[in-house]
Amino acid sequence: MKPLICSCALILMIIINSGICHSATMVQTPASEISQEVVTRLSPEITQAMENKALRLGAPIFMRIFKESDELEIWVLQGSGFVLFKTYRICDYSGDLGPKEKEGDKQSPEGFYRVGPAQLNPWSRFHLAFNLGYPNEYDRLNGRTGNALMVHGRCSSVGCFAMTDYRMEEIYTIADAALANGQESFAVHIFPFRMTAENMRRHQDHQDGRWQRYWRNLKEGYDLFKRTAIPPEVAVDRDRYLFKATTIELARQP
C-alpha cells in the first residue's frame, strides 16, 4: 500500500527539519502480517507504559543513537518539549567511532537523519526495520556513498544498528504509531558518544583527530536539543550542518 504522507502548511527552506509537524489526518503506513501482529500485541502494553509517564502512544517522537554506549533513546512529545520514554540497548553495530564514508566500509553512520512512513520496512529479513535515510544531503554533498542503512531486529549488522527482535518490535510499534497518527517524519540523531566536553577531550586523538571538526559540528545540534528539549531544525551548508531552534506549536496541532 502506498503511504499517504501529511505535509506542513509552512514550507521551510531547509533540507532536514525538526519533523514534528503533526496532522489530524491518519497516515497509511506499510504493513505486513508480522508488523500487524506485533503492533496489535504490543500497543496495549506500550500505551500503559507511556501513560505511566504521562505520555501518549501515537504522539510525535524523536530518537537518538549513541555508538560508544550502545544506546538508542526514544523521546516522546509532552507539553512544551520531548521527554525521554525509554533507552534500548543496541545489540550490534558495525565499524568504529566516526561516520560512514563509502559503500563497503562497514561503518555505521553518524549525523542527522529523518524517517518517514515510506521508510518503514515490515517485510525486512531482519524481522522489522526502518531505513535511516542515509545518505542525507550532507552525506551526498561530501561524497559519501552507500544506502539501505537500517535500524532492525536480529543481532548482527553490516553498517546498520541491530536491536534484537524483541526490542525492535517495541521500537517499531512506537515509530509506526507516531507516523500513522500524522507525524510527517521523525528525527534520528546519531552520535559517536554523548557529546560532553569530557568525552570530546577523551576522544580528541581518535584516528589522529580526523573527526574532531565534524564531531564539534554534531555537538552543536546535541547541545541545542539539550537546551530546548525540542529537536532543532537542521540544514546543510556544504561541509557543515546548520541548526536552528524551533517551536513546539506545529507539534501541538491535533
Structural domain boundaries in the chain: 33-252
Residue 235 has pLDDT above 60, yes or no: yes
Residue 53 has pLDDT above 70, yes or no: yes
Q: How confident is the model at residue 19 (pLDDT cuts 50, 70, 90)?
A: low
170's enclosing H/E stretch is helix 165-180
Residue 4 has pLDDT above 70, yes or no: no
Catalytic annotation, pick one of 152, 155, 189, 206? 152
Active site residue 206: no
Grid cell locating 121: 520496512
**What fold is seen in the domain 33-252?**
L,D-transpeptidase catalytic domain-like (2.40.440)
Cα→Cα distances 183→18, 72, 90, 98, 112, Å: 11, 20, 25, 30, 17
| pLDDT in the model for residue 3 | 41
Active site residue 152: yes
**Which tens digits make up the pLDDT trace of 221-231?**
999 999 999 99
| pLDDT in the model for residue 18 | 54
Question: To the nearest whole number, what is the mean pLDDT of the chain?
Answer: 91
**Which tens digits make up the pLDDT trace of 73-88?**
999 999 999 999 999 9
Catalytic annotation, pick one of 6, 21, 91, 160? 160
Would the CA dihedral through 90, 96, 98, 104 be positive or negative? negative
24's enclosing H/E stretch is none
**Which tens digits make up the pLDDT trace of 106-146?**
999 999 999 999 999 999 999 999 999 999 999 999 999 99
